[in-house]
């Protein structure tokens, strides 16, 4: 296999972690209607079953940094694949009876742990094996895989749900929805044994010859030697002082910038739209239930198309221009949606606003945040720093997911002035903050090696 084919293969295998991220997050949305009735859940328990995986995601992201340092990126991904598989199998156990909902929550949390570990290690691994000129595009494979996972699980749960009667869905249909994840999770687990270890992690562990042999497979002998020399140079200071003070001014500021950029991805409101899309279409936009299903398919399709556009442009236009273009689009989309709801002029403009927002997010903050996080941190702190940034993102995800329905149902949002539009104006304000923050603090990393990016922070 040539260098290009080898690179695409190992990137695609690693990106399956993103597909499972999307699949595992999405499968609960398809299964919750039936399992809620099966377990006879009240509103609070339903929220706990659905949201419990987020707790696992947060913990998984927190531990992923130290795990990645100790056993490496590849082995961390193998553990996440194993957790995905256990979660998918256990969540649909036939032995589950209505009184055993706590066991279901345990398996959902295990799946969340897998997501948390994969969401840090997969994009970081891809960034560490990718050539500088192609790194943006290759890391975007991860975001593409998340989107594909959402899209595929939507189709799978829809197919299972419509193939069975309601009684069959209540008894075992929701179990089959969970079990369907075993196919991609087992594929992910099996194929990971064929990918090499991260050359930068190997160098971090003093295994320079093994790192060089992998770099040669990816880059060719001449470029591999240059990459190897740069990696050794960037790690030279760490060999003198193995104690890293993460709270020193220089390091803390880098981690803080990455963490703020990461949580701002959630404050765009993307998961409010993805998690509560059906409610938005049905309640806020007035669509019937049959229409809601069509709008969700359309939403997923737009998300997928614009992710491909991001892949084609991230290494040509750069990271920051995509954030500016996408942020402007997200702002326009939410303003169209917000004003149409506020003025009680709900219809085509409202739907157009949602689709413009989704397309703009898929073009910008969706993939670009993962690209920037995977490449902005210096070699010696990358695992811990990215673990913190990803954990913060999951915390932001939980915050938005919990507060969105509360704000939507609040008296302030439903008064005569806002008419249910307040959340979209709040998200619009955060999108303006994203543009200003990116301009001020995010470096342009297009075409630079990871070691060249590291030198930016030294200036």
Question: What pLDDT does 95 receive?
Answer: 67
- With tokens 């494979």, the residue in question is 141
**Lookup result for tokens 């993805």:** 274
Say if 1-195 and 246-459 have the same CATH topology: yes
Q: What is the pLDDT of residue 97?
A: 63
Are the CB atoms for 289 and 323 separated by under 8 Å? no
CATH class of 246-459: mainly alpha
Which ranges of the chain have pLDDT less than 50? 239-241
pLDDT for 440 equals: 96
CA pair distance 313, 322, nearest whole angstrom:
8
Please, which residues have CB within 8 angstroms of residue 347's CB and are 6 or more apart in sequence? 285, 340
Phi, psi of 447, deg, nearest 5? 75, 5
pLDDT in the model for residue 307: 95
CATH class (in words) of the domain with range 1-195: mainly alpha
> What are the structure tokens assigned to 287, written together?
């669509």
Residues with Cβ < 8 Å from 391, sequence gap 6 or more?
58, 61, 62, 116
Closest C-alpha among 433, 402, 384 to residue 63: 384
Residue 241, pLDDT score: 46
Cα(412)–Cα(420) distance, integer angstroms = 9
Domain boundaries, the chain: 1-195, 246-459
pLDDT score for 306: 96
């Amino acid at each position: 296999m040539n260098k290009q084919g080898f690179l695409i293969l190992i990137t695609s295998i690693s990106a399956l972690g993103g597909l499972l991220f999307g699949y595992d997050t999405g499968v609960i949305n398809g299964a919750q209607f039936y399992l809620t009735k099966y377990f006879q859940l009240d509103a609070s328990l339903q929220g706990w079953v659905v949201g419990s995986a987020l707790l696992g995601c947060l913990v998984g992201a927190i531990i992923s940094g130290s795990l990645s340092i100790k056993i490496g990126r590849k082995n961390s991904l193998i553990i996440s694949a194993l957790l995905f598989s256990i979660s998918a199998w256990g969540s649909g156990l036939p032995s589950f009876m209505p009184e055993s909902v706590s066991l279901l929550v345990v398996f959902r949390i295990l799946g969340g742990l897998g997501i948390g570990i994969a969401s840090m290690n997969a994009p970081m691994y891809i960034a560490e094996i990718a050539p500088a000129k192609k790194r943006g595009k290759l890391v975007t494979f991860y975001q593409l895989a998340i989107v594909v996972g959402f899209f595929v699980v939507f189709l799978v749960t829809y197919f299972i749900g419509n193939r069975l009667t309601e009684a069959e869905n209540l008894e075992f249909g929701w179990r089959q929805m969970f079990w369907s994840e075993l196919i991609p999770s087992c594929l992910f687990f099996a194929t990971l044994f064929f990918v090499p270890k991260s050359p930068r992690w190997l160098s971090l562990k003093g295994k320079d010859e093994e790192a060089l042999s992998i770099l040669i497979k990816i880059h060719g002998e001449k470029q591999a030697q240059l990459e190897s020399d740069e990696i050794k140079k960037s790690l030279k200071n760490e060999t003198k002082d193995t104690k890293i003070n993460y709270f020193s001014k220089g390091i803390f500021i880098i981690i803080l910038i990455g963490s703020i950029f990461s949580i701002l991805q959630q404050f765009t409101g993307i998961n409010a739209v993805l998690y509560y899309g059906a409610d938005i279409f049905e309640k806020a936009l007035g669509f019937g239930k049959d229409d809601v299903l069509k709008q969700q398919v359309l939403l997923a399709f737009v998300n997928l198309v614009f992710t491909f556009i991001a892949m084609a442009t991230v290494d040509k236009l750069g990271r920051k221009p995509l954030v500016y273009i996408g942020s402007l689009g997200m702002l326009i989309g939410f303003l169209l949606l917000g004003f149409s709801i506020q003025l009680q002029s709900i219809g085509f403009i409202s739907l157009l606003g949602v689709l413009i927002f989704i397309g703009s997010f898929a073009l910008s903050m969706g993939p670009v945040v993962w690209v920037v996080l995977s490449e902005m941190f210096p070699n010696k702190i990358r695992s811990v720093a990215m673990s913190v940034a990803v954990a913060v993102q999951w915390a932001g995800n939980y915050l938005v997911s919990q507060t969105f329905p509360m704000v939507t149902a609040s008296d302030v949002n439903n008064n005569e002035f806002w008419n249910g539009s307040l959340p979209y104006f709040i998200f619009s304000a955060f999108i303006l903050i994203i543009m200003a923050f990116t301009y001020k603090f995010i470096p342009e990393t297009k075409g630079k090696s990871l070691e060249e990016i590291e030198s930016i922070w030294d200036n």
